Amino acid sequence: MRRSATARDASAGRVLGIGHGMVCGGEPDQSRAARARSIQTPDDLRALIAHHEAGHAIACWHFGIRVTSIRIDASGRGVCNFKMPVDMAERIRTRAPGFERLVEVADTVVVAIFAGYYAGLRYAPDAETPSEHDEALARQLLDAARAVRTYGAREEALRCIAAALVAARWGAIEGLARMLLRDGTVNVEGRAA
């Protein structure tokens, strides 16, 4: 998981944001994606990752999570950086002041993480995007939320929301993926909710 020092507004007393990178993709010859029937060339893999990253970004925008950058390089490695409250999992787990609200925010971040997976799955149903960073961050947030909740089965609900959101916003995801494939990045300034 990438963390970049983008915290600001401390003096204004706002919740600090830190950049989290959902770094996805990887070496084509090591990925399940590369072995899938529909994903055979580096260009195929790059297109898959572009849809995966676009899924993250469209879901972030849907929930008002600020995306700070989104890009994909020539080798097919993609990144979608976004902001979330600093030490969110720890503050939830320790029931820090305002943790109830943070649990709600964590839910939306988890949906945005899962949306990358489901966008990739919708683009290439027999492929799977390698995304260890995504899984680690989602697990961290889900575990923290589970520690303060008295009910279970939350992960499945969030997965359903992510899959439904990807289906509902598929046109936007495809459009953003096309821009990423053409330009390698998209200017996200002004797109924050």
Count of residues of this chain found to bind Zn ion when the rule CB under 5 A is applied? 5
116 belongs to the binding site for Zn ion (CB under 5 A)? yes
127 belongs to the binding site for Zn ion (CB under 5 A)? no
Backbone φ and ψ of 102, nearest 5°: -65, -35
Q: Compute the least distance from the CB of residue 116 to Zn ion, in Å.
A: 4
Report the residue number, 81 or 131, with the smaller CB distance to Zn ion. 131
166 belongs to the binding site for Zn ion (CB under 5 A)? no
24 belongs to the binding site for Zn ion (CB under 5 A)? yes
Q: Which stretch binds Zn ion (CB under 5 A): 35-43, 94-102, 125-133, 182-190?
A: 125-133
Q: Compute the least distance from the CB of residue 113 to Zn ion, in Å.
A: 7
Give the orientation angle of helix 42-63 with respect to helix 99-123, to 10 degrees: 150
- Interface residue with Zn ion, options 57, 106, 114, 134 (CB under 5 A): 134
68 belongs to the binding site for Zn ion (CB under 5 A)? no
- Interface residue with Zn ion, options 118, 131, 162, 180 (CB under 5 A): 131
Report the residue number, 44 or 134, with the smaller CB distance to Zn ion. 134
22 belongs to the binding site for Zn ion (CB under 5 A)? yes
Q: Compute the least distance from the CB of residue 34 to Zn ion, in Å.
A: 16
Report the residue number, 91 or 141, with the smaller CB distance to Zn ion. 141
Cβ neighbourhood burial of 63 (10 Å; 0-12, 13-18, 19+):
middle
**Residues of the shown chain interacting with Zn ion in the complex, contacts defined by CB under 5 A:** 22, 24, 116, 131, 134
